[in-house]
Copies of this chain bind each other. A is one copy, B any other.
Amino acid sequence: MKAEIITIGDEILIGQVVDTNSAWIGEQLNRYGIEVFQITSVHDDALQIKEAISQAAQHADLVLITGGLGPTKDDITKKVLCDYFDCKLVLNEQVLEHVTTMLSRRNIDINQLNKDQALVPEKCDVLHNPNGTAPGMWFEQNDTIYISMPGVPFEMIGLMEQAILPRLQKNGKVKSIYHQTVLVYGVPESMLAEKIEPWENALPDFIKLAYLPNQLMIRLRLSAYGSNKEVLETEVSQQIDLLRTYLPEQIFGYNNDSLAGVTGQLLAKGKLTLGIAESCTGGNIAHMFTENPGSSVYLKGGIVAYSNEVKEALLHVQATTLEAHGAVSREVALEMAQGALDALQTDYAIATTGIAGPDGGSEEKPVGTVWIAVVSKKNQTVHCYNFAHNRERNILRSSQAAINQLRQLILKENPVLA
């Protein structure tokens, strides 16, 4: 089964919102072995939407459409679908009841715009949208399935998970695709490519390798194609075992793992606790750990010590150290980490101090200079990094480098956790 995704909305084409819906849908369909052939984003323009739908139907037997179903006047998808399938809008009582219930639960009086959301093209099956007032719509014509969904991501996700994917699974005649992604940190892309070249060259024909670098890591995606899913899984798993021998320290996880999540799991497994002292990363390291469910098991707390006063008052950094070396220094990073270990009473502590930018840099310490310290009761590591990017990237790269430095110290002290 081949699919195409059409996302509708001027806001996408002028770059006001990033189209995250397509990525989410692509990932889900892929798991079901449905290949997404193309993603197309078009304006809230009747002619262009119709054109995109008919072009998609030429390649695909499943056309997924998001956007343009809101209560407001700029949203025209429903009218276009009526036109495309040559039918009219009719009132759906169940949708009307759902809209009424949803709004009254939020103490909002129903108005004409809300009521109009219960008008649906008469040729569609209505799909219940538990998270919003615009329903999903399922059409079938000449062996092609067309589905229209709201563009609000969590409404679209609810519809896909609860109504569309289960129904597609029943219909499906699908070939097997099996993906696994290996996550690598701490080696640049071309060096990585060279390092694993013999392994890559020896991959069997039915396994495809892709390098997916981003700011936080390099992801290596192995995709296996064939008829027998179990065979694909076994072969991919063996290839990954082999790959590990090339990158024993750099591979930190798989698929949707994050470095913070994996490192948190090491702490939880070893019944170890963590405290964080952040200056330039401003709370982002704590956020990267606490995004993960269960982080309260190992994370006792963090101190965002943005001003020197707070560094002194809460982390007991010495005023003389700040004066002698400046806030961005090896010495202050170490005192901050030690201060967090003491104040938060933990087994490990991370500290960051640097210049995130855009201001505050000097010739000696340019924007992007970051000192990162990690301490335990027995050991300490401290490194200086030069990221030299914009503020957002400097914060992100510093956070990730700090978490990796922690991961390395945990594994050195507790090899049994690896």
Contacts and interface: CB of A to CB of B under 8 A. Distances in A.
Given A211-B72, A290-B284, A154 B389 contact: yes
Interface stretch (A138-146, A168-176, A242-250, A296-304): A296-304
Nearest to A27: B15
Interface in A160-183: 179, 181
Contacts of A191: 108
Range for the number of chain A residues in contact with chain B: 35 or more
Contacts of A395: 287, 290-291
A251 interface: no
A22 interface: yes
Nearest to A28: B15
Contact of A16 (B103, B154, B219): B219
A75 to B, nearest CB: 8
A213 interface: yes
A24 interface: yes
Nearest to A211: B72
A125 interface: no
Stoichiometry, copies per complex: 2
Nearest to A289: B282
Interface of A: 9-20, 22-28, 30, 35-44, 48, 52, 70-74, 103, 106, 108, 111, 113-114, 133, 152, 154, 179, 181, 188-191, 193-194, 200, 208-215, 219, 221, 223, 276, 278, 281-287, 289-291, 293-296, 299-307, 309-310, 313-314, 343-345, 356-359, 389, 391-393, 395
A388 to B, nearest CB: 11
Nearest to A345: B309
Given A72-B193, A283-B302, 16 more contacts: A10-B210, A13-B37, A16-B221, A39-B40, A44-B210, A71-B190, A72-B189, A74-B211, A111-B193, A282-B289, A283-B283, A283-B285, A293-B359, A301-B305, A301-B306, A314-B344
Nearest to A214: B17
A296 to B, nearest CB: 5
A103 B193 CA distance: 14
A17 B282 contact: no
A26 B11 CA distance: 9
A41 B200 CA distance: 26
Given A10-B223, A36-B14, A287 B287 contact: yes
A62 to B, nearest CB: 14
Given A16-B212, A303-B314, A304-B290, A103 B190 contact: yes
